[in-house]
Structure 1
Amino acid sequence: MVEKIKNVVVFVRDIPKARLFYREWLGLEPGGETEYMMEFLPGQGTTLGVSLAMHEAAQKLVGRHTGVSFSVKGLEELCQSLTEKGVRFTEPLERTPWGKMAVVADPDGNEFALVEM
């Protein structure tokens, strides 16, 4: 019987650029790492895996909306910082009835929602 989601994996083509984006720019807490994969948010329940897309099937999954949302404190400040670094937003910061949201793309074009409630 399935108990919970262990991790969600996003495929990339450039691990060093991904490391900079996820660890330094988004500030995700790092976990384990190899030359082909990184794990973020250890101890949070579900982790985020960022893996090198080495196989043809994985290559097809690079550069799309992931359906993953990150809960953020200080979203306006984070968006400003990411903008200064040249990060691409596919949906700009906006206020919604339930909070604030923006959609950002990693260096390979994988999209994530940044949400502050």
Structure 2
Amino acid sequence: MITHIKFVSIPTRDQDAALAFYTEKLGFRVITDQPFDDKQRWIEMRVGSSDTRFVLFTPDGQEDRIGGFFNGSLACDDVQATYRQLKGRGVEFVSEPQKQPWGEFAIMKDPDGNQFVLSSS
């Protein structure tokens, strides 16, 4: 049976810049960083103790997907506090925290323009 999502891929133009953003600003931890081919590396990162990993990788022919909207949400305990912390580290937000009947959220983006919803757990 399927047990969990192993990884999701985040397309990027510059793996080094993306790696610095996700590790230094968001606090992700590198699990593996190894050569993939002559153009890219296979970089997997983990968020906290979660089994799900993020991969900084753009499959050939998918370069037009760079800078899109990530169809998912990154959970945090306190959207307001996390927003202030990440904004203080230089993370760009396209939407400040907003409260809705279903919870609170903000939208941030990475150096490639990929957008992520940050929401309450």
TM-score by length of 2: 0.78
Kindly indicate whether residue 111 of structure 2 is the aligned counterpart of residue 102 of structure 1. no
Q: How far did 1:80 drift?
A: 1.6
Q: Which runs of 5+ in 2 are unaligned?
A: 36-40
Q: Is the 8 A contact 1:12 1:18 kept in 2?
A: yes
Match of 1:81 among 70, 79, 85: 85
Distance 1:75 1:32 in 2: 29
Superposition RMSD on alpha carbons, in Å? 2.2
Deviates more, 1:84-93 or 1:15-24: 84-93
Which position in structure 1 is the counterpart of 2:38? Answer: none
Which position in structure 2 is the counterpart of 1:93? Answer: 97
Match of 2:52 among 36, 46, 54: 46
Q: Is the 8 A contact 2:25 2:91 kept in 1?
A: no
Which position in structure 2 is the counterpart of 1:37? Answer: 42
Identity across matched positions, percent: 26
Count of residue pairs the alignment pairs up:
114
**CA shift digits 1:62-89 (9 cap, x unpaired):** 0000112111123322212332344321
Greater than 4 Å deviation, 4+ residue runs = none
Q: How far did 1:46 drift?
A: 2.5
Distance 2:77 2:30 in 1: 18
Q: How far did 1:54 drift?
A: 6.4
Kindly indicate whether residue 8 of structure 2 is the aligned counterpart of residue 8 of structure 1. yes
